[in-house]
Amino acid sequence: MADGARRGHRLRAQGPGFAVALLVCIVAGGTAGYMVVEGWGAWDAFYMTMVTVTTVGYQEVHPLSRTGQGFTVVLLVGGVGAVLYTFTLLATMVVEGGLPKRLQRRRHERMLTTISDHFIVCGYGRIGSIVAQQFLRQQIPFVVVDRDADRIRAAIEDGAIGVTADASREEVLRRVGIDRARGLIAAVGTDAENVYAVLSARVMRPDLFIVGRAETEDATIKLKRAGADRVISPYQIGGMQMAQTAIRPAVVDFMELATSSDNLELAMEEITIAPLSVLANQSILGANLRQRYGVIIVGIQRHDRRMEFDPESDTAIRPGDKLVVLGRPDSLRRLEVEAGA
């Protein structure tokens, strides 16, 4: 621990702050030296110091005494070395990417303080990276949290905002804006870590929508008890997908087409009805969605999460309902604006 602290102090001593401080000391010492040795004024002494350490080759401000010449020699040796060291260090920072990396970190910190209505993706492994890619394609704001620095670097290179930290810690969740978040996805490598992340998030935000990843049935139960709204088992979903593809390939192809973010012709979307929307408290027939927008209502999820599939035309649309709608992306966007008005 002590060795690590000493190494940290050495690194800081060799940094740009030390170089600039050394250069300032050289200039200040040279100015004071000429004032004492030659009796010059402050400006003349400062000007002579700058001419000396930058080696521009101008003549002396005033004729130098033998002592002044000796002092100039010392100033030349120390000052030129300090100048070369400082500018070499600054150039190295720019060439090797030190400065851009610092600017990028500051930009990420500013984005963390301003981001809102976003998702927190815990883990950037095989599942987390796929989730992030989908969010990037659909331009949904999100923040990635992972303890592996290499994974966070990969996430940042992919265009995400990333934080190297433990997603189960409350201060970390607070830092990534859990109080302003839209939801959280726990996709860390182990079930235990996911349970802790979900539990911490639920304690901090009782109303937050949380999705957890589980590898076993026991983990599924624990994640639900910890507060996850939905629990996804990649192995179970993968097995069911393979079975459905073998039995009903056309149905699977249609669902992939409707739910793919790359599809520009057809999309399936979830649209929430706001309390003040003009669609609230109307029937499906009265809202005239098919004729006005050319969309098909596949189902309605009520406020109590009960799902009604293929609702009748006289079914009422209530505030807080979520319409599962199939249609063209531009039509769905127009419908979403009216539903939230």
How many CB atoms are closer than 10 A to CB 117? 11
Q: What's residue 14's pLDDT?
A: 56
Q: What's residue 11's pLDDT?
A: 43
Q: What's residue 171's pLDDT?
A: 93
What is the distance between the alpha carbons of residues 262 and 237, in angstroms, rounded to a whole number?
A: 21
What is the distance between the alpha carbons of residues 213 and 239, in angstroms, rounded to a whole number?
A: 16
- Give me the domains of the chain, ranges plus CATH numbers: 2-95 (1.10.287.70), 101-238 (3.40.50.720), 264-340 (3.30.70.1450)
Q: Are strands 183-186 and 209-213 parallel, antiparallel or unpaired?
A: parallel
How many CB atoms are closer than 10 A to CB 182? 14
CB 42 within 8 A of CB 69: no
Query: pTM here?
Result: 0.61
Q: What is the DSSP string of 60-107?
A: PSSPPPHHHHHHHHHHHHHHHHHHHHHHHHHHHHHHTTHHHHHHHHHH
How far lies 21's CA from each of 6, 13, 75, 326, in Å?
A: 20, 10, 16, 65
Q: What's residue 1's pLDDT?
A: 42
What is the distance between the alpha carbons of residues 234 and 215, in angstroms, rounded to a whole number?
A: 7
Per-position b or e across 86-108, b if 16+ CB within 10 A of its CB: beebeeebeeeeeeeeeeeeeeb
| Token pair belonging to 54 | 């930058």
Q: Are strands 322-327 and 267-272 parallel, antiparallel or unpaired?
A: antiparallel
Biggest alpha carbon–alpha carbon distance for the chain: 106
Q: Give the alpha-carbon dihedral of 284, 290, 296, 301, to 10 degrees.
A: -20
Q: What is the pLDDT along the chain (341 residues), one digit of tens a residue?
A: 444 444 444 444 456 677 778 888 888 888 888 888 888 888 888 888 888 877 776 677 778 787 877 888 888 777 877 878 777 777 776 666 555 666 667 777 788 888 999 999 999 999 999 999 989 988 899 999 999 999 998 998 888 899 999 998 999 999 999 999 999 999 998 899 999 999 999 999 999 999 999 988 899 999 999 999 999 988 888 888 889 888 888 877 777 776 666 655 677 888 889 888 888 888 888 888 888 888 888 889 988 888 888 888 888 999 989 999 888 888 888 888 888 86
CB 150 within 8 A of CB 116: no
Q: How many CA atoms lie within 13 A of 49 on its CB side?
A: 26
Q: In 3D, which of 59, 33, 61 has the Cα closest to residue 47? A: 61
Q: What's residue 226's pLDDT?
A: 92
Q: What's residue 262's pLDDT?
A: 63
- First-last CA distance in the chain: 58
